[in-house]
Structure 1
Amino acid sequence: MKGHIRERKAKKGRRFEVVVDIGRDPYTGKRKQKTKSGFTSKRDAESFLRKWLVELDENRYVEPSKETFASYMEHWFTSHYQKRVKESTISNRKYAMDKHLIRENPFANKELSKITTEMIDALYNDKLDEGYSTNTIRKIHQLLNQAFKQAVKWKKIAHNPVIDADPPSVKTKDTVIWSFDEIHRFLEHCKEERHYITFLLAIYTGMRRGEILGLKWSDIDFKKKIIRVERTLIHIPEKGYQLSSPKTFKSRRQVPITDYILNELITHKEQQEEWKDRLGGTYQDNNLVICTEQGTFQDPRNLLRVMKRLCEMANVTSICIHEIRHTHASILIREGVDIVKVANRLGHSKPKTTLDTYAHLIPNDQDQVADIFHNALMQKKQPDVSIM
């Protein structure tokens, strides 16, 4: 590539302009040039020209985009992002983008190429001051990073300003779990409830709420005593509840269950048959284990209301269904079950996730470590070999 510098006359003295030839337009055949003006000294212009030529030769030069941040985000989200994530994720992320990055964002209408790391950090601080959780701000950060990363790939900007941004660390709340006594009291008070089997499955399997509500009878192997987690119940705005694939690859798993749970499931199935007989042709048989008396999807919000009422009746700590999952995991860990086995049962993508969440519950046997090492070494001690 060739380039040169030309002098321009200005009211305040001489000005220099850098001009670079970048080939010819493949359609018109006309020569294409890039220019940069406003240099007050020829030396500065020459220095910029050398840098510019290197960037062009190495295909690193990016023509700064005039597109506004808000316009780019809308385009990126609809043409790229939403085609690569699950439908349930789209609605959550779209809400976060519209609210935090477009409607309530001071740099929403600035040019994409002029967004700086300082502006992004200021946005995070504003959200903190407004009372949003650190977890919400981290999700905003992840969305921004993905969007700017793609802008670099599309050569709309030269650098991703989110890389150097400093989002707040996520502050985790103390995990609230039930004692053994509370578990027994709660189950005793909900035995006559239609949702007894729902809470029983949550306590005995540690499955996610959506996984339990999406469970079908075909997912239960009564001979092998396992539940196959194949789907989950999700809510899509304007579409309602529907079944979807599990949260992650590891979420698709097999959960062993006991004879006690199998017998309770059989009893529940007999009750469902009574619903079918009573309603006849109006019953919607979707083969669901947990459903309404009409056979339709169970609304999770109703489940929440039932659980709150039962917690008050049983006089136990008021927790949500996800905290029943924490209770299940905590009991397994305190009983000495290997962390990898617990992770597999819960459907965590990595054992590290389980360890990070429940590390404080793992029994501290540090006092025994020295003895364990010493005993192992002594057992492997080689007999003395005399020298001839």
Structure 2
Amino acid sequence: MAVNKNKKTGKWDFDGKIYFKGKVIHSYRRSGFATKKEATRAEAIYRDEFNLKKVMLPSLQELVDRFIPFWKTQVKPSTAEQEIKVYNKLIRELGEKDFYDSKVLQAYISECDAKYSKRYVEKIYFSLTRLFKFAILDGIIETSPMVKVYKDARAGEMKKEMNFFEPDQFEKYLSCIEDQRDRAMFSCLYYMGLRKGEMMALQWKDIDFKKNTIRIDKTVITLNRTKSNPATSPKTKNSYRTISMPKQLVHELAAYKDIAKDFSFY
């Protein structure tokens, strides 16, 4: 601890270091006090109010590194990968700030509200909420700073209108496709409303040409575009379903099956 008069300004300053187990964990300096007595008192107050526990808290990177292995046991790999992208963004943008401070978090969420979609802000907001909930369960903190953080509900915001093919538009689109595999693929997506991963996981055993139905019981999760991605269970329990095929799709799949029987993987 030291209190000194600044020769340039004529004011009094104080500076010092705080030690924990023989190591410096925090250095400080404050200036601009009118008298030595005022500077000495201010330093005493500063040291009394210094939160040692807060300084010893893990950084955002460290907290995320502890959270992700746990989170991977709770969700599907694709969900975990999406979450990791959000946390990497948070580390880049919040890593140097006091992210345990609800005011800092509120300013960040408000900034996101001003430039991102409502859905994306919700993803960021709930990712932070999950992270601090884990920190509580892991005994790192006692309460979450997110309880004092709100996001704009955007009550008057109009939902973005979804674009989709009308039947005649899809027929025109399909007429431009010559490859039968692509015709079958896009027809599955259009007529059955399948998710991309569900369509990629389809096998001929899932397609019943007698009953004209398709059984959905798996999906392909794309984690690495350079490697083959194995099929896994669908996104939710309600994703297991058997759907009737319209005649147009039956025709496209039958045509592709007739071609595919000559392939080595058939």
TM-score w.r.t. length of structure 1: 0.50
2:225 and 2:246 mapped to 1: Cα distance? Answer: 39
Partner of 2:68: 77
1:182-221 maps to which residues of 2 (within 5 A)? 182-190=169-177, 193-221=180-208
Identity of aligned residues (%): 24
Taking the aligned partners of 2:192 and 2:225, their CA distance within structure 1 comes to 32
Partners of 1:167 and 1:237 in 2: CA distance:
33
Matches within 5 A, 1:187-336: 187-190=174-177, 193-237=180-224, 240-242=227-229, 243-274=231-262, 276=263, 283=264, 285=265
- Match in the other structure for 2:14: none
How many corresponding residue pairs?
A: 215
Residue in structure 2 matched with residue 103 of structure 1 by the alignment: 92
In 1, the alpha carbon distance for the partners of 2:218 and 2:65 equals 31
Structure 1 residues 110 and 177, CA, compared in 2 at 3 Å: closer, same or farther? closer
Mapped to 2, the partners of 1:191 and 1:140 lie a distance apart of 42
* Rounded Cα–Cα distance in structure 1 between residues aligned with 2:166 and 2:236: 30
Q: Any gaps of 5 or more consecutive residues in structure 2?
A: 1-39
Q: CA deviation at 1:122?
A: 0.9
Give the whole-Å Cα distance in 1 for the aligned partners of 2:161 and 2:259: 39
Q: Do 1:205 and 1:255's aligned partners in 2 also have CA atoms closer than 8 Å?
A: yes
- Residue identity opposite 1:94 in structure 2: I
Q: Deviations over 1:89-117 (max 9, x none)?
A: 22221121112x11111xx35667xx132
Task: Specify which of 149, 156, 167 is matched with residue 140 of structure 2.
Answer: 156
Partner residue in 2 for 1:137: 121
Rg larger for: 1
1:254/1:138 CA distance change after superposition, 3 Å: same
Separation in structure 2 between the aligned mates of residue 234 and residue 140 of structure 1, nearest angstrom: 22
Against the structure 1 CA distance between its residues 224 and 210, is the aligned structure 2 distance closer, same or farther, given a 3 Å change threshold?
same
Q: Which runs of 5+ in 1 are unaligned?
A: 1-10, 16-36, 40-62, 277-282, 288-388
Give the aligned CA root-mean-square deviation in angstroms. Answer: 2.8
Asked whether the equivalents of residues 152 and 160 of structure 1 are also in contact (C-alpha less than 8 Å), the reply is: yes
Other-structure match for 1:181:
168
Provide the secondary structure at the position in 2 that maps to 1:104: helix
Q: Is the 8 A contact 1:66 1:111 kept in 2?
A: no
Aligned-pair CA distance for 1:65: 7.7
Q: Contact 1:65 / 1:111 at 8 angstroms: preserved in 2? A: no
Q: Is 2:113 aligned against 1:88?
A: no
Q: Is the alpha carbon distance of 1:183 and 1:260 closer, same or farther for their aligned partners in structure 2, counting shifts above 3 Å?
A: closer
What is the CA-CA distance between 1:260 and the residue it aligns to? 4.3
Residue 120 of structure 1 deviates from its aligned partner by: 1.1
